[in-house]
Structure 1
Amino acid sequence: MVATLRGRAAFRRLEGDEHGGKGAHGMPGFELNGKNALVTGGARGIGKAIVAAFLEAGANVVIGDRDEETGTATAAELGAGFVRLDVTDSASLDAAVAHVAAELGSLDVHVNNAGTVINKPAVDTTDEEWRRVLSINLDGVFFGCRAAAKRMLAQDSGGSIVNIGSMSGHIANHPQPQASYNASKAGVIHLTKSLAAEWARGGVRVNSISPGYVGTELTKQGMSNEDWKKTWLESTPMGRVAEPSEIAPAAVFLASGASSYFTGSDLVVDGGYTVW
């Protein structure tokens, strides 16, 4: 059920040492040759771009997504594997991790990418809406980290976990109201640091990426509001949103030996939004 795409490498291939270390020129390797990865929410958007980048860097990749139709189509398009999962259900994530490890022999990289947003004033947000956002964005990341770490800590090779946070975990966005989303992403960033501290001695690195506005389906919906679009672009020094493919290289870096001394770090990729 798992296919491998061996395309042109996104980065120059270099031989690595036991820490993913140094190639012929003494530079740590950015390749993922032979690494086995699971990417949640990998059917579209940033997740899909990460899957494509991982495959290009030499990894074997399984897409984990609740949307089986889109997930299987994306897997066929890119040459990845697919497993259906629901990040709000810890048993589902445990089963997905077990499936990947059984199919591929190990789990070396796990990306927690699945997420959602509700743009609604806090005073109008229902209990159910609050819990839904936190359940997907924060509970789902914890469940994914825990499932992956149990597997990785039992491996001699350890592993790398990459969580997709957001610049919204550092700032309060405007003009749209989204307190639940901001709180969930702040939680992801600090959860990343906490788990990194717990698992570092076991050879499991945990890092996060905090994208700014990216041209995903959710962002495009938001940009249909001309006031929001104007504010977002004017508040971004680079004056544009990112393409999903501009976020993916950060995930390749954090998954690879090039980041062997990175753990507990949050890479902000926001076109400069948070500098103002």
Structure 2
Amino acid sequence: MATASIQIVLEQDSILSQQIANERSMVATNDDSEPAVPVGASVGGKHNVFDMFSLNGRVAVITGGARGLGYSMAEGLCAAGLSGVAILDLQSDLGERACDQLYSDFGVTAKFYRLDVRDEVAVQDAMNSVVRDLGRIDILILSAGVADIVHAEEYSPEKFRRVIDINLNGSFICAQAAGKLMIAAGRGGSIVFVGSMSGSIVNWPNPQCAYNSSKAAVIHLMKSLSAEWAKHRIRCNSISPGYMDTPLNTTFESEYFHEWKSRAPIGRLGRPDELAGCALWLASDASSYCTGTDILIDGGYTVL
């Protein structure tokens, strides 16, 4: 009798499990809020992960994109099939040249807008112009920034405020302007902040308290916006580079370059193009479940 009872229970459990599976299948079939197949998969075909990195039909805005890290990330995104890219920068000659080169290399419609990221009226006008000229904004990369190497006791409040105003306030002003347009469009989007390993560590021996403070704040701003805007399907993440071989850093070469290289386990500075893959991942559907994350790309500098 005991054996018969156990058999009946097992059969009942099997029937119940099948009923639950059938109900879940019906819900998945009738629920329009979730895709029936994962992003990047094709019905009846094999899953192709590379499809998830496609940016076909999307438009990106890149502040500080006329050269250096911003331009390298623009190249990475254009290679993935952007329909349009907007370069926002103070340097008109470099910005126009960057757009010409992006069009020549990738056939992407590229527009330059001269902009000071601290000017909230100009920023909103520029974002509106991007939507007018290119049709939409899906991706924002916040690469505009400055750095000083000044001993704290000699730092003038005016100079300190300038670093904070460009790096932190400028990032917020641009993110807010683009975010409002993304929310209104209802398609979601991806905002990629450019932080720094200096937002996580004090990279001695550089006297750069303003820069360190600004980048720590940028990373926490990103995390705050990621929480607020998740309901709008806007993902916010940040890339935090280590020492990169950029025009900004070459101004400090004679005094600090050897120190920077010797402290990184990889033993060299990073190339600007070594951020492009991460920027593409964060901009694309390949990172669709990633938000509020800071990604360090520093040659191992911060592990020591």
Shorter-chain TM-score above 0.5: yes
Aligned residue number for residue 182 of structure 1: 212
Render the CA deviation track for 1:226-272: whole Å, top value 9, x for unaligned: xx222211110100011100011111110000000111110110010
Q: Is 1:66 aligned to residue 68 of structure 2? A: no
Q: Is 1:36 aligned to residue 54 of structure 2? A: no
SS for the counterpart of 2:236 is: strand
Aligned residue number for residue 270 of structure 1: 298
The residue identity in structure 2 corresponding to 1:180 is: A
Give the Cα–Cα distance (whole angstroms) in 2 for the partners of residues 198 and 85 of structure 1: 27
- Alpha-carbon distance, 1:208 to partner: 0.5
SS for the counterpart of 2:136 is: coil
Which structure exhibits the higher relative contact order, with contacts defined as CA atoms closer than 8 Å and separated by 6 or more residues? 1
Conserved 8 A contact 1:20-1:29: no
Aligned residue number for residue 77 of structure 1: 101
Question: TM-score when scaled to structure 2?
Answer: 0.82
Q: Is 1:230 aligned to residue 255 of structure 2? A: no
Q: Is 1:248 aligned to residue 276 of structure 2? A: yes
Q: How does 1:3-152 map to 2 (within 5 A)?
A: 21-23=39-41, 24-25=46-47, 27=49, 29-59=52-82, 60-79=84-103, 80-152=110-182
Query: Which runs of structure 1 show a deviation greater than 4 angstroms over 4 or more consecutive aligned residues?
Result: 17-20
- Alpha-carbon distance, 1:78 to partner: 1.6
Conserved 8 A contact 1:134-1:181: yes
Question: TM-score when scaled to structure 1?
Answer: 0.90
- Alpha-carbon distance, 1:82 to partner: 0.8
SS for the counterpart of 1:247 is: helix
Render the CA deviation track for 1:12-68: whole Å, top value 9, x for unaligned: xxxxx6999223415361111111011000000000101111111111211011111
Conserved 8 A contact 1:45-1:244: yes
- Alpha-carbon distance, 1:224 to partner: 2.1
More helix as a share of residues:
2
- Alpha-carbon distance, 1:155 to partner: 1.6
Aligned residue number for residue 207 of structure 1: 237
SS for the counterpart of 1:183 is: helix
Give the Cα–Cα distance (whole angstroms) in 1 for the partners of residues 193 and 167 of structure 2: 10
Conserved 8 A contact 1:20-1:256: no
Report the aligned-residue RMSD.
1.5
Conserved 8 A contact 1:208-1:266: yes
The residue identity in structure 1 corresponding to 2:75 is: A
Aligned residue number for residue 167 of structure 1: 197
Give the Cα–Cα distance (whole angstroms) in 1 for the partners of residues 267 and 295 of structure 2: 20
Which has more radius of gyration? Answer: 2
Render the CA deviation track for 1:136-193: whole Å, top value 9, x for unaligned: 0000000011001100111221111000000000001121200000000000000000
Give the Cα–Cα distance (whole angstroms) in 1 for the partners of residues 72 and 129 of structure 2: 22
Structure 1 residues without counterparts, runs of 5 or longer: 1-16
